[in-house]
């Protein structure tokens, strides 16, 4: 059943209005929203929430609407990690949580992979990259432990209705250029507070031509722009993807209403995808972005393909398309941490993992790993080219580590040549 909005609204306004039980909402007003789904992980979840819930004598409002993912401290490397993981597992049993995804991949990838996200939902996550859910036409954003406590007890949270900043991308990306490049370009242009306290929406023909995995990269890194959410209107690509992973057709009824009305009020920025070159962000900020050609003299000794932003099935395929039949340069260590066990299994079936390993890759567990500063972090003085979302100083190893951010195509090309390189030269 489609809802008619007599007042023109942005996608953000429509999603908030639905969650607030209203016909429409106005930018700037504060409303209380009902939460359709709350996600937290081993780092942000039980170890922080359990003591507070116990103190209040309170319980989870609806265990069917909570998803716990163990992805930050797995596999446990030390006694502290072991304890954090144990708390998460014990608490999940005590709370009788129905949806626990343990050591099978990164929360932002496994949550939609299991069909938990659908257009029209209002969701919160205990992680700053929770805006990934916006790729599915959901209003999803990251919150801290205190706010999550409120959600867990009441099933509600207040939001101030944000203004919408629409990133309109025309044209089509060249081969070897990806959503990661689009995102780095936008962050380079607008800075890390460019989308501050607003809803960023990605639109235009270039966005409509992206796969769901690529759209997830855009929504995910809206966090790096300082936006609350990174939204993409639901379309046939969204619906086909959700049907393919087994979401029942009746749960997708009315999905076509989740878009921005053309005469709604928003600010728009225009981009041409066809003229975009591969982008690289220099240490120590995603905003230090320039064209790949400007980094030709940088020689990484580690190439890292990992994280929710850069190690999904499609990212692994992108890297393999560059590396096929080749070996990484002497002195370069290639590390691959696939974002989910299911996607790694599919990549194995397709021969993608074999190509990566034949090229010299070391395969790491399906977890946040180095991106979260855990597990395979980088040694003193390393120069790293990485598919992760962030390159803050001392995030992925000692302060002496220099991390350059790029797409999986660029990471693979740089691993082959031993210097930061344009993948289009290898794909030609």
Query: CATH code at 406?
Result: 3.30.499.10
Short-list 247, 244, 236, CA closest to 210: 236
pLDDT of residue 3: 47
337 with 260, same domain?
Answer: no
Number of domains in the chain: 2
Q: Which of 240, 272, 304 marks a domain boundary?
A: 272
Average pLDDT, the chain: 94
Question: C-alpha angle 159/197/172, rounded to 5°?
Answer: 115
pTM of this structure: 0.96
234 with 310, same domain?
Answer: no
252 with 316, same domain?
Answer: no
Tens digit of each residue's pLDDT (9 = 90 or more) over 161-194: 999 999 999 999 999 999 999 999 999 999 888 7
Is 115 among the domain residues? Answer: yes
Tens digit of each residue's pLDDT (9 = 90 or more) over 38-57: 999 999 999 999 999 999 99
288 with 178, same domain?
Answer: no
246 with 291, same domain?
Answer: no
Domain range for 241 is 11-272
Is 6 among the domain residues? Answer: no
Is 259 among the domain residues? Answer: yes
Is 5 among the domain residues? Answer: no
174 with 258, same domain?
Answer: yes
70 with 120, same domain?
Answer: yes
Q: Which of 272, 301, 317 marks a domain boundary?
A: 272
Is 243 among the domain residues? Answer: yes
302 with 258, same domain?
Answer: no
234 with 350, same domain?
Answer: no
287 with 247, same domain?
Answer: no
Tens digit of each residue's pLDDT (9 = 90 or more) over 113-161: 999 999 999 999 999 999 999 999 999 999 999 999 999 999 999 999 9
Kindly state the percentage of the chain with pLDDT values over 70. 98
Q: Are strands 289-291 and 229-231 parallel, antiparallel or unpaired?
A: unpaired
Q: Which of 272, 291, 326 marks a domain boundary?
A: 272
């Amino acid at each position: 059943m489609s809802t008619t909005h007599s007042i023109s609204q942005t996608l953000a306004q429509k999603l908030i209005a639905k969650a607030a039980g209203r016909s429409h909402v106005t930018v700037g007003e504060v409303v209380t929203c009902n939460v359709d789904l709350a996600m937290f992980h081993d780092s942000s979840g039980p170890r922080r929430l359990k003591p507070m819930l116990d103190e209040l004598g309170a319980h989870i409002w609806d265990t069917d609407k909570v998803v716990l993912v163990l992805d930050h401290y797995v596999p446990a490397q030390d006694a502290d990690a072991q304890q954090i993981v144990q708390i998460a597992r014990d608490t999940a049993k005590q709370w009788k949580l129905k949806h626990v995804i343990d050591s099978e991949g990164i929360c932002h990838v496994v949550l939609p992979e299991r069909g938990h996200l659908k257009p029209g939902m209002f969701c919160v996550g205990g992680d700053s990259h929770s805006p990934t859910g916006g790729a599915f036409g959901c209003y999803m954003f990251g919150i801290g432990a205190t706010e999550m406590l409120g959600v867990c007890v009441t099933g509600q949270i207040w939001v101030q209705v944000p203004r919408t900043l629409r990133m309109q991308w025309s044209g089509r990306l060249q081969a070897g250029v990806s959503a990661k490049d689009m995102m780095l370009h936008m962050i380079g242009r607008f800075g890390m507070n460019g989308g501050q306290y607003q809803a960023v929406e990605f639109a235009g023909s270039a966005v409509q031509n992206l796969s769901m995995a690529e759209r997830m990269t855009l929504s995910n890194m809206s966090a790096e722009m300082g936006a609350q959410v990174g939204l993409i209107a639901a379309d046939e690509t969204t619906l086909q993807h959700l049907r393919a992973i087994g979401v029942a057709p009746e749960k997708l009824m009315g999905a076509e209403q989740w878009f921005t009305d053309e005469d709604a009020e928003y600010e728009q920025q225009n981009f041409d995808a066809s003229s975009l070159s591969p982008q690289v962000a220099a240490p120590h900020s995603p905003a230090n972005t320039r064209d790949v050609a400007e980094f030709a003299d940088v020689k990484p000794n580690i190439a890292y393909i990992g994280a929710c932003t850069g190690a999904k099935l499609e990212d692994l395929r992108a890297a393999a398309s560059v590396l096929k039949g080749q070996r990484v340069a002497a002195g370069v260590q290639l590390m691959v941490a696939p974002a989910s066990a299911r996607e790694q299994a599919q990549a194995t079936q397709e021969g993608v993992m074999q190509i990566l390993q034949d090229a010299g890759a070391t395969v790491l567990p399906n977890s946040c790993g180095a991106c979260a500063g855990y597990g395979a972090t980088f040694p003193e003085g390393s120069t790293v080219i990485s598919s992760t979302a962030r390159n803050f100083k001392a995030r992925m190893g000692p302060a002496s580590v220099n991390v350059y951010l790029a797409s999986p195509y660029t990471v693979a090309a740089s691993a082959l040549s031993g210097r930061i390189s344009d993948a289009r030269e290898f794909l030609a």
